A = this chain, B = another copy of it.
């Protein structure tokens, strides 16, 4: 039987553990430096938990490290994996970071946004995998295929580009929703009033490229409105004004050729 030790108990670790557990994979142990996080996740998947590196089981089939990118090496230091398969789940961390810790290693990167309180639809999630040899790739593919049919093998360099694209398409867009929600405070309307607009914006992507779907003052090269909006924002929030100006200029440049046609 395949059994897994999770190293980390954050957003990705939590959803991975729950997803694999639901598909019959034995989540045997959760390690986290924060005992309460480890315990909370362990209880959800019937695992044991520990915050002591020396207490990590040495004979699991698979070790999944899901911690902050910058902490991967620190967390793994002083754990002896006995050359069992060790993988990380990060978009922008190269495969080779794991080389010092085991002879068998790989990556399983889910192209998704995870919040602890929101269940995830794994079937709809694209997974990108990589490994240091074919046998390990085969094993990771087997695990990944339990979660989703959308599994692709991709190298570290391309995975990093993918991660940057995901930051634009998800993290930055979501932050713009935060800024919009702040702006709604002064409008007399409610943030929820924007939801149909947001839904339609993403629905369009099913039939149009985002380039073709672009609307708004900037793509219309409506410099008066753009200048007015920047002036209005600058009165109370110079950061929003700067973001508005930069993105509008970039839209105008990107679409200049189209409007000249």
Contacts and interface: CB of A to CB of B under 8 A. Distances in A.
Interface of A: 11, 68-70, 92, 111-115, 117-118, 120-121, 124-126, 128, 150, 152, 154-155, 158-181, 183-184, 186-189, 191, 193-202, 204-220, 222-225, 228-229, 232-233, 239-240, 242-244, 246-247, 250-251, 253-254
Majority secondary structure, A binding face: helix
Given A69-B225, A92-B228, A187-B154, A213 B115 contact: yes
A174 B178 CA distance: 15
Contacts of A206: 195
Contacts of A210: 174-175, 177-178, 180-181
A239 B246 CA distance: 9
Contacts of A223: 70
Contacts of A213: 113, 115, 118, 174
A57 to B, nearest CB: 28
Nearest to A10: B220
Contacts of A228: 92, 160
Given A121-B200, A181-B209, A197-B113, A169 B176 contact: yes
Contact of A70 (B167, B201, B222): B222
